[in-house]
Structure 1
Amino acid sequence: MDIQNQEYPPIQAGDIVYVMVRNPHTQDVANIQEAAVVRDPVRSGELNLFLYETHYPMNEEFALYRTKEEAEKAYQYYFGSAGEEVPHG
C-alpha cells in the first residue's frame, strides 16, 4: 500500500506506522507490528523502518499503514482475522 498518496502528510522521521509482518517459515501466518520511521544511519537523507531493534529500508516489500485500524482492516481482508496470527492448515 502506498501511504504517501493518502490524505496524510508525507512520512517523515519520527512517525509511527504499522506493518504486516509475515512469518518467514509459514507464509500464511502474519501479524501487525508497530514500527518507527527513522533516518537511515548509513545513507544520509533516506528513511528506514525501525522494527524488532533492526533498521529496514523503506520499500515496496513492506505493507505500511498509518493507523492500526487501517492495518487491521487490510489484515482482515488478506488473512481473515485482524491482528491475530492465522494458523497454517
Structure 2
Amino acid sequence: MHYQAGDIVYVFYRNPHTQNVANVQEAAVVKNPEDPNGGLAVFLYETYYPISDEMAVFQSAEEAENAYQYYFGDVSGGEI
C-alpha cells in the first residue's frame, strides 16, 4: 500500500507490559525524523515506528477490526 504523511491508519498495538493484550489503535503516518532518506513512519504513543512490509497497517477501523477478530478472536478489547 502507498501511504502519505498525514494519513490516519489503524494498527495492532501490543501492550508492552502485558504481551498477551493487543488492541486496534488509530495512528498517524508521518515523515520519519530518524530517517535521513525521508521514509515514513507510524506515530503512536510518542514513538515513531518505520512502516515496513512486516507491519499490519489498515486504512479503516472496520478493516482493522475484522483482521483483529480473525487473528485474536475478540474485537471487544479493541480501542479506537
TM-score by shorter chain over 0.5: yes
Deviates further, 19-28 or 45-54: 19-28
The equivalent residue for 1:38 is 30
- Alignment identity in percent? 60
Q: CA deviation at 1:55?
A: 1.0
Q: TM-score, normalising length from structure 2? A: 0.82
Task: For residue 41 of structure 1, give the secondary structure of its aligned residue in structure 2.
Answer: coil
Of 35, 59, 70, the residue aligned with 2:52 is 59
Q: CA deviation at 1:26?
A: 4.4
Q: CA RMSD in A?
A: 1.7
Q: How many residues align?
A: 77
Structure 1 gap segments, 5+ residues each? 5-9
Query: For the residues of structure 2 that align with 1:23 and 1:64, how far apart are their CA atoms?
Result: 17
Q: Which amino acid in structure 1 is aligned with residue 53 of structure 2?
A: E
Q: TM-score, normalising length from structure 1? A: 0.75
| 1:68 and 2:64 are equivalent in the alignment | no
Q: Which amino acid in structure 1 is aligned with residue 50 of structure 2?
A: P
Structure 2 gap segments, 5+ residues each? none
Higher Cα Rg: structure 1 or 2? 1
